[in-house]
Amino acid sequence: MYRILASVTTLEHHLNAVANDSEAYRPEACPHCRAGGLWRHGCYHRKADRAVGTQESRNPVPVLRFLCRACCRTCSRLPACMCPRRWYDCAMQQVVLLLILAGCSVHQCCRDTCRVRATVRRWRDWLSARSECFAFFLRSRFPELGRHTERNSFWRHVMQGMSLAQAMAWLDRDLVVP
């Protein structure tokens, strides 16, 4: 299970923090059983840098792992700039979703953002499938969002007020897995 560290929004910041200030990543409680006092448990690496293949690429990027002494399960802490299970960063996903919400066709959206059709469709369908659940939790945390009852205007408002990465980090904190 992933937990997101909302304050780390760039890969540079993440690499720096892992090397110098890894305490920031230690979860307060186990996401499985809520016990405290998690141990550092090494790290694994994943591809996260979109500048793949270039000399400046920072892949593979380390992700810290923690072990719960109570239930013996592990969890990882991801920075907000590395969306769980997604290759592209949240910023690009946000651009694509804002275009879709503004009424752009998938075709137009692919042309404007240089993303392939399957990616744009996957992101569109992901938001549309999870929208009601996400909106429910975001509205209970940010009551002013209750004013936006129409789905598209709700999401436009969320992405303008905070970023998609921050919204996902809030959902993650409420244990709604994005």
Question: Is residue 175 within the footprint of Zn ion (CB under 5 A)?
Answer: no
Give the H/E segment covering residue 170: helix 164-173
Whichever of 70 and 101 has its CB closer to Zn ion, that residue is 70
Write out the two tokens for 138.
């975001």
The distance of closest approach from Cβ of residue 5 to Zn ion in the complex, given in angstroms and rounded to an integer, is 19
Determine which residue in the list 51, 52, 71, 118 makes contact with Zn ion, applying CB under 5 A.
Answer: 71
**Closest to Zn ion by CB, 68 or 164:** 68
> What residues contact residue 145 under an 8 Å CB cut-off, 6+ apart?
135, 138, 139, 154, 157, 158
Distance CA 60, CA 32 (A): 27
Closer Cβ to Zn ion, 71 or 102, answer by number: 71
**Which three-class secondary structure state does DSSP give residue 130?**
helix
Q: Does 116 bind Zn ion (CB under 5 A)?
A: no
Binding site for Zn ion (CB under 5 A): 30, 32-33, 35, 68, 70-71
